Amino acid sequence: MMEGIRLERILIVDEDPDTLDLLARQILKPQGYQVATASEAGAAIQKALQFGPDMIIASLTLPGLSGKDLLVALRAQGTDVPMLVTAKKGMEADAIQAFRLGAHDYLVKPLREAEVIAALERVITEIRLRREHRQLAGQLAESNRQLERRVRELTTLFGLGKTVTSTTHQGQLFNKLMEGSLYVTEADMGWVLLRMEDSDTLNLRAERNLPAGVSAKAHQAWDDGVSSLVMLSGEALAIHGEGLSKFKLSQFAGAALIAPIKVRDQPIGVICVARTSTRPFTERQLVMLEAVADYASISLVNARLFQALEDRAQRLESQIKGSRGEVDGRWLSDVHRSVRAAQAELATMMDEDKEGMFKGRLGIVQEDLDVILDKISKVGPPDEQA
C-alpha cells in the first residue's frame, strides 16, 4: 500500500500500553517499519536522540510533559521530525495548539488502522517530497559547483595557452605551468623534470611546495623514483597508497600524477603533481595534466626556436658588420684615388692655361677637392695611407 514511499523509523509515545501495542505490533511492524516506543516524554526525548526516527506519533495526554511539551522540547533541541498527535474526542483545542507548534496531523482515539495508515501516507508523502526537493536542490548546487570549476579549469588552460604563445622566458613559463597544473588537479605540490642534453639524467627545472630538502636541488639532477619509469613508457601515470610506497616519492606524498612532456613523440621530461593524502587523482585530472604537459612541450619548443633565431640573428649581424667594414674601406680608397686623379688633372689644366683664362675657376675646384679629401680622411684613412 505504501511501498516506495515508506519511512523506516517511527517512534511511538503513548501512556496507554494497548495503544502502543496496536500501533507498534499490529499496524506498523507488519508494514515493515522499524519501531521504538516510550510511555512518557522524558524517555521519548532520549529515544528520539538515540533512535533517530523519521516520524513521531505522540499522545497529547502524556503524564508529566504533554505531547505539546514534547513537540516544543524536540524543536528546541533542533530535532525537526514530523509529528502526528493523538487525543481523545473533545480535545480539538489542544490539537489546534499542536498544529500551531508544528504537528503534521491529528488522530482521534480510539485509533482505527485504516485512519492511522491514511494519516501516515499523507505525512510520509509530504516528507518524501520535501526530501526529494532538498536532494534535487543539493544535486543542482553540486552541478553548479562542478560547472563553475570546469569553467575555471578551461579558463586556466586558456590562460596557459596565451602565456605559452606570448612568453619565451622559461622561468615565467614554468611558474605558470606549475600554478595551472596544481589548480586543475587539486594537488598540493608539483615539479617539472627535464632530461639533460646527451644524458638520461633528469634535472629539476621548476617546483612548487616541495619539501625544503628537495626544492634545494633546483637546476640539479634529481629523480623522484617514478618519473624515470614514465620517461621509459611515454605514458602518463596515476599512483597512490600502497602502490606508491615502493618509491622514493612516498616519503612526502600519498598520491601522485605524472605526465610526460613530449617533442615529436619522444619524452624530454615530465610534469608531476602530488598530494600529501592518499586520495587518488581522477581520470579527468589525469587528462587535464596531460593538457598542461602539451603546453609545456609547446613552450619548450618555442623557447628553443626563439633562442636559435636569436643566435642566428646575432651571427648575421656580426657578419654584416664585418662585411660593411670591408666595403666601406674599399669605397673610401676608391674615392680617395679618384679625387687625387682629379687634382692631378686640374694641375695639368692649370699649367696648360697659359693665358690664365680659367685659372680662377680651376682654383675654386681645386679647393673643393681639398675639402673632400679632408672629409674622407676624417671618416677613415684609405688603405693606401694606413
What pLDDT is recorded for position 2? Answer: 43
pLDDT at 159 over 80: no
Q: Report if residue 4 sits inside a domain.
A: no
Q: Look at 297 and 88; give whichever has higher pLDDT.
A: 88
3-state DSSP assignment of residue 270: strand
Domain shared by 295 and 317, yes or no: no
Domain shared by 178 and 299, yes or no: yes
What's the average model confidence in pLDDT over 51-78?
86
C-alpha cell of residue 215: 626544492
- pLDDT, tens only, 175-220: 888 888 888 899 999 999 988 877 788 989 889 999 988 888 888 8
- pLDDT, tens only, 329-379: 666 676 777 777 776 766 766 666 555 555 665 666 677 677 777 766 665
Give me the number of domains the chain comprises. Answer: 3
What pLDDT is recorded for position 169? Answer: 65
> What are 115-120's contacts with CB under 8 Å, separation 24+?
116/23, 116/27, 117/1, 117/2, 117/27, 117/31, 119/84, 120/2, 120/55, 120/84
Mean pLDDT of the chain: 80
pLDDT at 295 over 70: yes
Q: Residue 154 phi/psi, 5° resolution?
A: -65, -40
Among 247, 273, 307, residue at a domain's last position = 307
Domain shared by 186 and 222, yes or no: yes
pLDDT at 4 over 50: no
269-305 CB burial, b ≥16 within 10 A, e <16: bbbbbbbeeeebbeeebbebbebbbbbbbbbbebbee
pTM value?
A: 0.48
Among 307, 341, 366, residue at a domain's last position = 307
Residue type, 271: I
Range of the domain at 96: 9-134
Place of cell 629523480: 223
3-state DSSP assignment of residue 142: helix
DSSP string, 314-335: HHHHHHHHHHHHHHHHHHHHHH
The secondary structure of residue 112, as a DSSP letter, is -
